[in-house]
Amino acid sequence: MLKLFIANKNYSSWSMRSGVLLKQAGIPFEEVLLRFDSFDAHSRFKQSICSVSPAGKVPVLDDAGFIVWDTLAIAEYVAERFPEKNLWPQDAQARARARSLCAEMHSGFAALRSACPMNIEADLAEVGQLIWRDKPAVRDDVARLVAMWSELLAHYKGPMLFGEFGIADAFFAPVCMRLTSYALPLPPKITAYIQRLSALPGVKAWIDDALVENYFCEVEEPYRLKR
């Protein structure tokens, strides 16, 4: 059975991508949670994950001793390992577009990711209002997401970005969590997509676990003194 090493479900956006992809696709796997304490080389988290992967980051997929790290590599490996799951669109052009968008998510949206760390449990609407007011780069990132998703939902007719759930939806799930936690302004059709995605069993299971995790990591929440 596959083994997926992840960090805190409330905080770890990178872990969420691979976790919800496997769960929603119905691919059996064992989940191994390594809690954040700090990112110092001598922290328990770093020592634990470095014993599994040379990259020293989550997520990590272990397939009977064969190690795959990085969310894009994990997505590609799983798609090839389980072709019957149709995790990429079947049409060549749609597949290329989905890969392009995942790569953009993988390396882009720096302003949004920096200003709005994923924190599923928290109500950060007041923080979000200040971010929206003071950070034009965040507004630009959200505008790009809205344009991208609107085009895809119109072209492929939903309910997910390319019709049915796939890798692209898994990649954008953590962004959906950020947009929700910080209550950033969105058009109704984009809010509806986020709600549909969040209601999928694999995504909902992750969210439910995050909500009851009850683990406070000061490194991840510099704006809150306690939970």
3-state helix, strand, coil in the chain (%, to 5): 55, 10, 35
Residue 223 has pLDDT above 60, yes or no: no
The mean pLDDT value for 189-215 works out to 96
CA atoms of 78 and 167, how far apart (whole Å): 10
Question: Could you tell me the pLDDT band of residue 45, with boundaries at 50, 70 and 90?
Answer: confident
> Is the pLDDT reported for residue 225 higher than 70?
no
Confidence (pLDDT) at 43: 84
pLDDT of residue 215: 72
CA–CA dist 51, 87 (Å, integer)? 30
Residue-wise pLDDT tens digits, 140-193? 999 999 999 999 999 999 999 999 999 999 999 999 999 999 999 999 999 999
Cα–Cα distance measured from residue 146 to residue 133, given in angstroms and rounded to the nearest whole number? 18
CB 67 within 8 A of CB 42: no
Q: pLDDT band for 44, please (50, 70, 90 cuts).
A: confident
Residue 227 pLDDT > 70: no
pLDDT attached to residue 41: 75
Alpha-carbon Rg for the chain in angstroms: 17
> Do residues 120 and 177 lie in contact, with contact meaning Cβ atoms separated by under 8 Å?
yes
Q: What is the DSSP string of 122-168?
A: ---HHHHHHHHHH-HHHHHHHHHHHHHHHHHHHHH-SSBTTBS--HH
Q: Supply the pLDDT for residue 65.
A: 96
What does the DSSP 8-state code read for residue 85? G
* 70-116 confidence digits (pLDDT tens): 999 999 999 999 999 999 999 999 999 999 999 999 999 999 999 99
Helix (H) / strand (E) containing 110: helix 110-115
Q: What is the DSSP letter of 220?
A: T
Give 3's strand partners.
30, 62
Say what the pLDDT of residue 42 is: 78
- How confident is the model over 30-42, as pLDDT tens digits? 999 998 877 777 7
pLDDT tens digits, 4-13: 999 999 999 9
pLDDT on residue 73: 97
Backbone angles phi, psi at 101, to 5 degrees: -70, -40
| Beta partners for residue 134, in sequence order | none
Instruction: Please name each of the domains of the chain with its CATH number.
Output: 2-85 (3.40.30.10), 92-210 (1.20.1050.10)
